[in-house]
Structure 1
């Protein structure tokens, strides 16, 4: 079967990052960590690590092969959460040692960008009543970590 597998390039610690992400999400695990058996431009045989892992059932690959290009917002991952408790848990874990940003965005300690959003946000933003959706968007734009109760309050006009 043909499929797309996102691949992430880390300067170092790709195996540590994959294990950390897998520890936070269900249906997630590290499958293999393999040292390349040949010398590469990034280092001698065994120094470049390739990691195969799965997050929420989605396969990923990562490589620890020295400095290249830093992660940026052009490629990031959105985690859609069922509850505020889930938003809080993932926000707290992923932002630890990283950098928090606006609108539910953060960079984790490995430099990867994530947006932690409640599933309710997408539903409210798609409301055919565009005034309600606008209030939600305006509320979201003022937040750092997203707050479901505040988003719902804005949605309801309060």
Structure 2
């Protein structure tokens, strides 16, 4: 499992309360605690919680599948996450799992609790839902992501036409009902959905990729912004499907956390003017 890739959840001031809540629910721990960023470790995986302001709201286009070993474990998480939240699919027995439920918690994050076998050593797996204009593009997206990143592969892919159970809305047979893919040893699930969803990918949930050097930064940035992607500021971008990524050199974090606060501030000021992060420009600002 790769902890250089991890989800970032956007908050309007309540990241710390949310972090404490998830640590309680999943028996995790807070690993970084600043007014802007709180990092937590859940199941040995990293989650970043960002106090970014009121601009973006999290939605179910990206949910988190938690693979549970017992019915009691599913129930324990469900009861806690449902408090102050709402059920998107009621907890019950389905053809794909003896005990499954989809819940949106009180902080707007959605969780799919699933009793079954893990597809990898990851217990918590971000699940991308390709909807609206992206409906039918899950397979194409998996192929794009696995081309860009090393140590990547597409695992099991279940299409709607593969003799699966009926759905209230007919799905094209070639659409992906459920698929597993890996980028740089980090697992994702994805699916297509023809429902008329009133939301889509946005900055409320993004995927952070920590890079070792400028070459790696350039490869990921250029690959994800190609063919209809869009550059944003401070290492943020949207790929052609509107999924938000943060491509962050590890050197940026080192310089921003320097004990010389004046130098660290210069680095932050330089970063704020960038789209793609240029490590040499950060070094120059640090030395100035």
Q: Which TM-score applies when normalising by structure 2?
A: 0.52
Higher relative contact order (CA 8 A, sep 6+): 1
Asked if 1:29 is matched to 2:153, the reply is yes
| Deviation of 1:27 (Å) | 1.6
Instruction: Count residues in correspondence.
Output: 157
The answer to whether 1:58 aligns with 2:186 is yes
Please give the alpha-carbon distance, in whole angstroms, between the structure 1 residues aligned to 2:127 and 2:211.
23
The structure-2 alpha-carbon separation of the partners of 1:65 and 1:111, relative to structure 1 and needing over 3 Å to count, comes to: same
**Alignment RMSD, CA only?**
1.7
Partner of residue 90, structure 2: none
Partner Cα distance (1:33, 1:108) in 2: 22
TM-score (norm 1): 0.91
- Determine whether 1:90 maps to 2:215: no
Between stretches 25-34 and 106-115, larger displacement belongs to 25-34
Q: Once the two structures are superposed, what CA deviation does each residue of 1:68-117 show, in whole Å capped at 9, x if it has no partner?
A: 32111111111111111111121111001111111111100011001112
Map of 1:1-150 to 2, 5 A cutoff? 3-11=123-131, 12=135, 13-36=137-160, 37-44=164-171, 46=173, 48-49=175-176, 50-66=178-194, 68=197, 69-96=199-226, 97-150=228-281
Runs of 4+ more than 6 Å apart? none
Moved more, 84-93 or 145-154: 84-93
- Unmatched 5+ residue regions in structure 2? 1-66, 69-122
Task: Identify, as 1 or 2, the structure richer in helix.
Answer: 1
Secondary structure at the counterpart of residue 145 of structure 2: helix
**Maintained 8 Å contact 2:171/2:193:** no
